[in-house]
């Protein structure tokens, strides 16, 4: 009930500013989290890469053999660095 009483005493301009500040704060937090996530050297399994890039295993194999993407092996398992995969992606030119 106290929130509704407080909102009745707030002007529309003040309420608009409060909402803007709240949204801006949430977007800044999201941006920081996203930047931290991409800055990490996450290792992805083969299955995770297939799902992330939405490709099949033969395409991934061809890209590895052509040297388009780097693969790391440990204990007979293949791993890929997320940052390297993202850097391989190129934007389309219009």
pLDDT digits (tens, 9 = 90+) for 26-74: 988 888 887 776 556 788 999 999 999 999 999 999 999 999 999 999 8
Q: How crowded is residue 68: how many other Cβ atoms within 10 Å of its Cβ?
A: 10
**pLDDT at 12 exceeding the cut of 50:** yes
Q: What is the pTM of this model?
A: 0.54
Q: How far apart are CA 11 and CA 59, in angstroms?
A: 59
Q: What is the pLDDT at residue 37?
A: 64
Q: What is the pLDDT at residue 42?
A: 82
- For residue 1, what pLDDT band results from cuts at 50, 70 and 90? very low
Burial class of residue 49 in the structure, from the number of CB atoms within 10 Å of its CB (0-12 exposed, 13-18 middle, 19+ buried): buried
The torsion angles phi and psi of 42, rounded to 5 degrees, stand at: -70, 135
Q: What is the pLDDT at residue 87?
A: 86
Q: How far apart are CA 5 and CA 92, in angstroms?
A: 53
Burial class of residue 80 in the structure, from the number of CB atoms within 10 Å of its CB (0-12 exposed, 13-18 middle, 19+ buried): buried
Q: What is the pLDDT at residue 35?
A: 72
Q: How far apart are CA 64 and CA 84, in angstroms?
A: 12
């Amino acid at each position: 009930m106290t929130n509704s009483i407080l909102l009745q005493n707030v002007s529309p301009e003040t309420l608009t500013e409060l909402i803007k500040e709240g949204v801006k704060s949430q977007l800044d937090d999201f941006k920081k989290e996203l930047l931290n996530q991409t800055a990490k050297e996450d290792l992805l399994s083969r299955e995770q890469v297939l799902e992330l890039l939405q490709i099949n295993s033969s395409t991934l194999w061809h890209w590895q053999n052509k040297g388009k993407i780097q693969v790391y092996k440990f204990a007979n398992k293949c791993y890929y660095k997320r940052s390297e995969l993202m850097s391989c992606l190129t934007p389309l030119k219009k």
